[in-house]
Chain A
Amino acid sequence: MTTKLRWFSVLLALVMACTILPLTACGGGEDKVLSMYVAYGGPDIIAAEFERATGIKVELLTMSSGEVLTRLRAEKENPQTDIWFGGGSDAFIQAKEEGLIAPYISPNAAGVDAAFKDPDGYWTGLSLVIVGFLVNPDRAEAQNVIIPENWTDLNDSSLKDELMASNPNTSGTAYTTVSGILQVFGEDEGWEFLDQMYENIPFLEKSGSAPGSKVMAGEFTVGIVPDPHNLPLENPDASLLPVFPSDGVLAWPSPVAIIEGAKHPENAKKFVDWCLSDEGQAVLMQASPRVPTTDVETIEGVPQLSELNLVAYDHIKWGNERERVIEEFNNRYPQYQ
C-alpha cells in the first residue's frame, strides 16, 4: 500500500515535471513546425498537403479576421504565431500600419495582379473573395419570401427576420459589405440603405461563414456570404442557390502574411512560396474553391472574373478607413457591438 503510494507520488512528480519541461526546452534551430491563425476555408486540407510537400507540421487556430487582429495586437510583445492566412485585406492593411506583420516578397508573387498585393510585400493576395447572397429556395417558398437579385432587394419587407449577415467588427465579409455599399451608394445614402437592411436582420453572426451555414440548415432564407458558390459546390444535394447581385458584386483579395517577430520565419516564407506556387494554388482551389488571383485553372462551378459585374471596390482606401467606418457602425447599431 505504502510503496504503491510512493510510486504514485513519483508518477505525480513526473507529470508535473513534464508540464514544466516544454518551457525550458525551447531554443536551438528552427523546428519543422509552423503556427498560424487562419480565416480561410478548408485549412485542414491545406495544412495536410503543405506538410506532405515540405515536411513542416502546421498548428492552427481558425478565427475571423477581426479576431486575428485582436490577438496580434495583444501578443505584439511576444508573437505566438508565424502566419496569418486568409481574411479581409482591410484587416491586413491595418496590421501593416500597426507594424504587426513583416514584409516578404515571394519569388512566386510575380504572377499576382498588382491590385491584389501590397506594394511593399507586407501581404500577398492568394485568391479573391466575392460577396454575394446564398438563398435557400425551399425556405423561400415555405416562408413566402422573394428571392433577391440585387442589393436593393434585400430591403424588401418580406425578408424581415429571414436575412442573416455577419458583424463587421469581427468579419471581413461584413466589413466589405458595409464599405462596399458605402462606395456604391455614397456615404449618406449608403448608411440610410444599411439602416433599412439591418431592420431585416434579427442579429449578426461573428464569423463570415456562419450566415451561409444557417441558410443551408434551413434556419434563414437569405444570407450575405463570402463566395456564395462554395456551399452549393460542397453540398450538391442541398437546397441552395448562389446569387451574384446584378447591381454589383463586391470582391477583395484574401491574403497571406508573415507575422512580425515570427518564431519560424524560414518555414513561414516556405509557406507563402508554396501557397503561390502552381501546386499550392491547386490545393487552395480544392480546399476552398475561390476566384484565383493567379492564372490557375478554376474548377467547375467557380465563376470566372469576367462573368461577374464586379464593383471597382477600392479595398486599399476602405482598408485605411476601417477604424472610422467601424466606429460609425458601432455608433449607429450599438446592439451589435
Chain B
Amino acid sequence: MRWKKYILPAVFLILLCIFVVYPSVSVLQESFKVDGQLSFGNYIDVFTKPYLYSTIWSSVLVACGAAALSTALGLIIALVVFKTTLPFRRLFAVSAVLPIIIPGFVTTIAYIFLFGRNGIISYQLLGIEWDVYSWKSVLILQTIDLTTTAFLLISATMVTLDSRLEDAARSLGASEWNILRTVTLPLLRPGLIAAALLTFMRSIADFGTPLIVGGDFDTLASASYTQLIGTYSMEMAATLNMVLLLISVVAFWLYSRGQAGSMDVRQQTEGVQRKELELSRPVKGFLWTVACFFSVIVLMMLVSVFLAAFTRHIGGDFGLTLQHFQILPQRGWNSTINTLVFAVATMAIVSFVGIVIAYLVTRLEFRGRSLLDWLTTLPFAIPGTFMGVGFAIAFSKSPLLLAGTWAIVVACTVIRELPLGLRAGVSVLSQQDYAIEDASASLGASKITTFFNIILPMSRPALLVTAAWAFIATVQTLGAIIFIITPGTKLLSVDVFEAVIRNDWGDAAAFSVVMLLLAAVGVLTIYLISRRQATQSWFRKLITSRIQG
C-alpha cells in the first residue's frame, strides 16, 4: 500500500522530465556542438562577433527600458485609479487591462497603420518622418504591452495597502505629496520590484516585436529566430537561447526571492480600508494626463486593428472592404478550429492538472515533493523561444519522434501555462481549512473521493481563473510553438505572424480580429460560468495576483 501514493507524483515527474528537462538539456547539448563536435566555439562566437554580441546588450537595454517605462506607467495608472477620484478612472483601468487580449505582434499592425513611415497620424496628419523600424518602436510597443502586467501587479499591492499608515503620517502633519513619497511608494515597493522584474523577463523573451518593427535591430530572441530560420544554425540558435535563459533565470531568481520576503506583510493587511490621497492639482493633473494619454493610445490601437481589417490597403486606398475576410473560408477555418481545440484542451488540462499537483504538494508528504513543485514552476522562467527550440531539437528525432502531432503542440502550451495553474491551486488550497478534508477522511472516504468531492469544488474559483488565463495565453502563443508548427497543426497566431512577415497587413488584421474575438468570447464564457458572487470576487483577486501568463 505504501508505494501507491508515489504513483501519481511519479507519473507527473516523468512527464515533466520528458517535456521540461529533456528539451532544456537538448538545447544545452546543441549549444556546445560545432559541426557535430564538442566545442565552446558557439559561445566564443557570441562574445567576439560584433553582431551577435550586440544582441545581448540590445536585449538587456531594451528590456530594462521597457521594464522601467511600463512599471512607471503601471504605477501612475494604478495611482489614478485607486488613489484619486479623478474622472474616467474606470476607463483608464479598462484600457490598461485591455492589451491582455491583444498580443504584442498584433499591436504592431495598428502601430504601423498609425505611426509608420506613411502612418495616418505620423505622416499624413503631422508630416513627421522618423526611423520607425528601429529599437525605438520595439521599446514603445513593448512598453504598451507590458504596462498591463505592471498595472495588475502594482494594483494588487495597492488595494491591500494599509491606509492607517498614511493616516498616521497625515495626522503628524505630512503633506499629501510627502505621504505619497515617504509612505505609499515605499509600501508599494514589493509590487514595483515584482512588476519591474516580470516585465523585464517578458520583454527579453519577446521575439515578434523586434522582428517586425525592429528593422536591423535584433535582440537575442529575434536573432535566435533568424539564425534558425535564415541560416539554419540550430547550434547558434541554441547558444543564443542559453544566454537568454541565463538572463531570464537571474531575473526570476530575484523575483521569487523578493516575493518570499514580502508575503507576510501583505497577508496581515488584508481587509483594511483603502483611502484616496488628496494630492495637489499639478500632481493630479500630471498623473491624469499620462493615464489619459496611455488610454487613448491603447484604444486607438485596438480600433485600428479593426479598421485595418476592413481597409482596402493601408497607406494607399483607405476604402472599406470585406475582401480580407475572404481568406478565412478559403483556408477552410483550419487554423481557427485548431486554435479553439488546442486552447480548450490546454485550458482543461492546465486547470485540472494544476489543482492535482497543487493538492499533491500542499497535502501529501512524499519524497520529491519540492522537486515536483520546482519542475512545474520552472517553465515560467524559460523564454518562449528557448522552449520552442528545445522542443524542435528534442522531438524531431528518435526516440521521441513527436514532431507534427497535435500532442506536441498541446504538450508545449500545457507546460508553458502549468506554473500558473499550480500557483492558483496552491493559493486556494493553502488557505483552506484542513478540517473538512479530515472529516471526509474520518467518514471513510478515500483520498480520491475526498479530492473529487471536497478539493475540486473548493478550488472552483482557481480552476476557472486558470482556465481563462490558459485559454487566452494559448490563443496568443507564438514564440514557443512557431518552430514546431506543421501545416496540419497550424494556429491563428501563426497565420497572423506569416501575414505580418509578408506585410499583408489586411490579412494579418483580419486574422487578428478573429483571434481577438476568440479570446474575448472564451474569457466571457468562463466569466459567465463563474457568475456566483464568491467566484467572481476570486476571479478579480486572482487576475490581480502575482502570476501573469
With A9-B452, A77-B396, A337-B226 as contacts: A61 and B485 at CB distance below 8 Å: yes
Query: Are the CB atoms of B401 and A78 closer together than 8 Å?
Result: yes
With A61-B485, A74-B392 as contacts: A216 and B502 at CB distance below 8 Å: no
Query: Are the CB atoms of A235 and B501 closer together than 8 Å?
Result: no
Query: Are the CB atoms of A22 and B348 closer together than 8 Å?
Result: no
CA distance A220 to B404 in the complex (A): 39
CA distance A116 to B23 in the complex (A): 43
Query: Are the CB atoms of B227 and A210 closer together than 8 Å?
Result: no
Query: Are the CB atoms of A70 and B228 closer together than 8 Å?
Result: yes
Say whether A110 faces chain B, with CB atoms less than 8 Å apart: no
B548 → chain A, closest Cβ, in Å?
25
Give the residues in chain B near A45, CB-CB below 8 Å: 330
Query: Are the CB atoms of A35 and B397 closer together than 8 Å?
Result: no
With A22-B406, A80-B486, A202-B131 as contacts: A73 and B452 at CB distance below 8 Å: no
Give the residues in chain B near A237, CB-CB below 8 Å: 316-317
Residues of A250-280 whose CB lies within 8 A of B: none
Q: Which of B313, B352, B490 contacts A238 (CB 8 A)?
A: B313
CA distance A59 to B491 in the complex (A): 12
Chain A residue with Cβ nearest B334: A59
**Per-residue A-contact encoding for B379-409, CB less than 8 Å = 1, 0 else:** 0000000000000100011100101111100
CA distance A139 to B348 in the complex (A): 52
Query: Are the CB atoms of A2 and B453 closer together than 8 Å?
Result: yes
Say whether B291 faces chain A, with CB atoms less than 8 Å apart: no
Say whether A12 faces chain B, with CB atoms less than 8 Å apart: yes
Chain A residue with Cβ nearest B119: A219
Stretch at the interface among B3-11, B96-104, B229-237, B418-426: B229-237
Query: Which of A23, A45, A217, A330 lies at the interface centre, i.e. has the most chain B CB atoms within 10 A of its CB?
Result: A217
CA distance A52 to B312 in the complex (A): 28
Query: Are the CB atoms of B403 and A205 closer together than 8 Å?
Result: no
Say whether B332 faces chain A, with CB atoms less than 8 Å apart: yes
Query: Are the CB atoms of A207 and B403 closer together than 8 Å?
Result: no
Chain A residue with Cβ nearest B216: A203
Say whether A140 faces chain B, with CB atoms less than 8 Å apart: no
With A15-B345, A210-B502, A219-B116 as contacts: A203 and B133 at CB distance below 8 Å: yes
**Per-residue B-contact encoding for A32-75, CB less than 8 Å = 1, 0 else:** 01011100000011011000000001011111001101100111
Say whether A19 faces chain B, with CB atoms less than 8 Å apart: yes
Chain B residue with Cβ nearest A14: B348
Give the residues in chain B near A238, CB-CB below 8 Å: 313, 316-317
Give the residues in chain A near B503, CB-CB below 8 Å: 205, 207, 209-210, 212-214, 217
Query: Are the CB atoms of B485 and A218 closer together than 8 Å?
Result: no
Query: Are the CB atoms of A74 and B407 closer together than 8 Å?
Result: no
B346 → chain A, closest Cβ, in Å?
9
Chain B residue with Cβ nearest A44: B330
CA distance A35 to B404 in the complex (A): 11
Say whether B327 faces chain A, with CB atoms less than 8 Å apart: yes
Chain B residue with Cβ nearest A162: B117
Say whether B368 faces chain A, with CB atoms less than 8 Å apart: no
CA distance A38 to B188 in the complex (A): 52
Give the residues in chain A near B352, CB-CB below 8 Å: 9, 12
Give the residues in chain B near A69, CB-CB below 8 Å: 232
Residues of A155-179 whose CB lies within 8 A of B: 161, 167, 169-170
Chain A residue with Cβ nearest B342: A19
Q: Which of B50, B230, B341 contacts A167 (CB 8 A)?
A: B230
Say whether B278 faces chain A, with CB atoms less than 8 Å apart: no
CA distance A219 to B131 in the complex (A): 11
Say whether A324 faces chain B, with CB atoms less than 8 Å apart: no
Give the residues in chain A near B392, CB-CB below 8 Å: 74
Give the residues in chain A near B488, CB-CB below 8 Å: 33, 35, 59, 80
Query: Are the CB atoms of B51 and A202 closer together than 8 Å?
Result: no
B508 → chain A, closest Cβ, in Å?
10
Query: Are the CB atoms of A81 and B330 closer together than 8 Å?
Result: no
Query: Are the CB atoms of A235 and B456 closer together than 8 Å?
Result: no
B232 → chain A, closest Cβ, in Å?
4
Give the residues in chain A near B490, CB-CB below 8 Å: 59, 61
CA distance A331 to B291 in the complex (A): 47
Query: Are the CB atoms of A235 and B505 closer together than 8 Å?
Result: no
**Contacts A207-B501, A210-B503 supplied; 9 other A-B pairs, CB < 8 Å:** A19-B341, A22-B405, A33-B488, A35-B487, A75-B404, A170-B229, A206-B501, A214-B503, A237-B317
Cross-chain pairs A/B with CB under 8 angstroms, 14 sampled: A5-B456, A16-B345, A35-B486, A45-B330, A61-B490, A61-B494, A66-B230, A70-B228, A209-B502, A209-B503, A210-B502, A217-B316, A217-B505, A337-B223
Closest 7 pairs (CB-CB, A-B) = A213-B503, A217-B315, A218-B118, A169-B230, A44-B330, A203-B216, A203-B215
